[in-house]
Amino acid sequence: MTTLKINREGKKGKNRKWDFSTENDESSYDKQLTITEAEIEATTEKYMDNYHKLVFEFENKTKLNKFDLSIMVFAAGFQVLRWWMISNSSLFGDKIQRPDATNVDKFVDKVAKKAENATQSVIDAVPFLPPSLPELVESLFFHQVPYDAIKTSKNFKLKYGEFLKPGLSGTNHRYKTLGHDPIAGFIFGTANIATNTLSVNNPLLLFPSYHVKNMEIDELADLYHILKWTYKLEKEKPEIVSGALITQAVHIGTDVFTKAGLPIPLINVISPETSKFLMGKNCNIDTFSVTRSALLAILINKIVEMFHKLFYDQTTDLPNLYEAKTRKVVMYSNVISSLINTGYVAGSGDMNHLDVGGIAAAIWKVLTNEKIIRKIKTEFIKRELENDFEREEDEIRQELALYGFEY
């Protein structure tokens, strides 16, 4: 009598040990239990054929049918209608309807006029005099931050003349100051507010910086020391840095919706001239327009996704495979809309309709959905192969039982 013992540690079909204890001579079974190279090659070829068959099956089951394609075309048309009706210069209407910076703070300006005679501390100390908490609160109400300063003081003019002027004006200071960058501004703008300074976007000159006194550029500074002073303040007077951070957030939040707008994050730091071109009247591509178009594109994607899932049939579709189809519908519709948009802009030269936010949302969809679809595909193939292994294992058990093995 021969007994077959199976070590059941590990998953099915994996890492199993087959121990034979034979009361009779085992030589009679050698030929039957030996696996030849030809059998190994045949098994490998069978496995690869099965794998390719499952890949084809997955592609076939997640292929878009006529109904899926109709939803995809509808979704793409909806996205095209979005960027056609809402250009970069519109706020669900003409950009001229956006409030001016002075109108945003109309109430604040009235309060500021009553406080015109209020005196501020004279900044005679070197290297800087940080604002007090009351001054930070006051700057919140007055909507004034040091990097909004564009005029030079008499002291600066007498000391440096016109040669070292920062070249700021009401029309260019949004893209020429580090503090107005929607992302980098939370570092440099906060540091500027905490130290009463201003830093200009000019990488070639290592970001020239200035002390600000009474909202006038009064003295030269440098970015290294500004950051160093801010770090020291954070250790000694953390409430000042915290107040500066809050002031920065409020100021950026209100500037986004003004006519001048805010530059696209980080591009402004690298190339102010690029930001100038993008924010010009022929493009109107700023933080608000890009964010708005991206959010609207994402909203449409969600609506399309939920609509497509309404038609899921659990009797004919597997949930994970139908999820892959839904993601394909949304992803392809985004790509079609973006291709139509870039083609239209290239042909017409109408940069005002360049759908930067929608294109960014489409790229994100392609990157994320492809990864998720690959994961669904891998899980599907893995599950089917494991089922095949289990069936083969059962067949082996039955075949070994014919030889008198017990397990």
Q: Which residue did the predictor score with more confidence, 107 or 347?
A: 347
pLDDT at 344 (0 to 100): 93
| pLDDT exceeds cutoff 80 at 207 | yes
Q: What would the two tokens of residue 100 be?
A: 């001016």
pLDDT at 112 (0 to 100): 40
pLDDT at 42 (0 to 100): 73
Answer for the pair 396, 407: CB distance below 8 angstroms, yes or no: no
Q: Which residue did the predictor score with more confidence, 258 or 98?
A: 258
| pLDDT exceeds cutoff 60 at 309 | yes
pLDDT at 406 (0 to 100): 61
pLDDT at 163 (0 to 100): 75
At 242-292, the pLDDT tens digits run 888 988 898 888 877 777 778 888 887 777 788 888 888 888 888 888 999
Mean pLDDT of all residues belonging to the chain: 78
pLDDT at 138 (0 to 100): 64
pLDDT at 122 (0 to 100): 31
Q: Which residue has the tokens 């493009």?
A: 283
| pLDDT exceeds cutoff 50 at 392 | yes
Beta bridge partners of 210: 198, 220
pLDDT at 123 (0 to 100): 33
User: For the chain, what percent of residues have pLDDT higher than 90?
Assistant: 25
| pLDDT exceeds cutoff 70 at 363 | yes
Report the C-alpha gap between 168 and 162 in whole angstroms: 12
Report the C-alpha gap between 87 and 293 in whole angstroms: 9
Q: Give the single-character DSSP code of 177.
A: B
Which of 13-22, 60-69, 117-126 is the least confident region?
117-126
pLDDT at 29 (0 to 100): 54
pLDDT at 266 (0 to 100): 81
At 181-201, the pLDDT tens digits run 888 889 999 999 999 999 998
Report the C-alpha gap between 327 and 343 in whole angstroms: 24
Which of 77-81, 101-105, 277-281 is the least confident region?
101-105
Q: 152 in helix, strand or coil?
A: strand
**Averaged pLDDT, 151-180:** 84
Categorize the per-residue pLDDT at 407 as very low, low, confident or very high, splitting at 50, 70 and 90. Answer: low
At 117-155, the pLDDT tens digits run 332 333 333 455 667 666 666 666 566 889 888 888 888
Q: Which residue did the predictor score with more confidence, 58 or 15?
A: 58
Report the C-alpha gap between 330 and 260 in whole angstroms: 34
pLDDT at 360 (0 to 100): 93
| pLDDT exceeds cutoff 80 at 371 | yes
| pLDDT exceeds cutoff 60 at 58 | yes
209-213/197-199 β-pairing: antiparallel
**Averaged pLDDT, 69-81:** 93
CA nearest to 293, candidates 338, 250, 348, 346: 338
∠ CA 70-72-75 to the nearest 5 degrees? 110
Which of 11-20, 68-77, 103-112, 113-122 is the least confident region?
113-122
Which residues contact residue 122 at a Cβ distance below 8 angstroms, ignoring those fewer than 6 apart?
A: none
**Averaged pLDDT, 101-109:** 45
Sheet holding 209-213, edge to edge: 197-199, 209-213, 216-221
**Averaged pLDDT, 235-240:** 88
| pLDDT exceeds cutoff 60 at 232 | yes
Categorize the per-residue pLDDT at 93 as very low, low, confident or very high, splitting at 50, 70 and 90. Answer: very low
pLDDT at 114 (0 to 100): 38
Beta bridge partners of 6: 18
pLDDT at 133 (0 to 100): 64
Q: Which residue did the predictor score with more confidence, 405 or 309?
A: 309
pLDDT at 120 (0 to 100): 35
Which amino acid is located at 376 in the chain? I
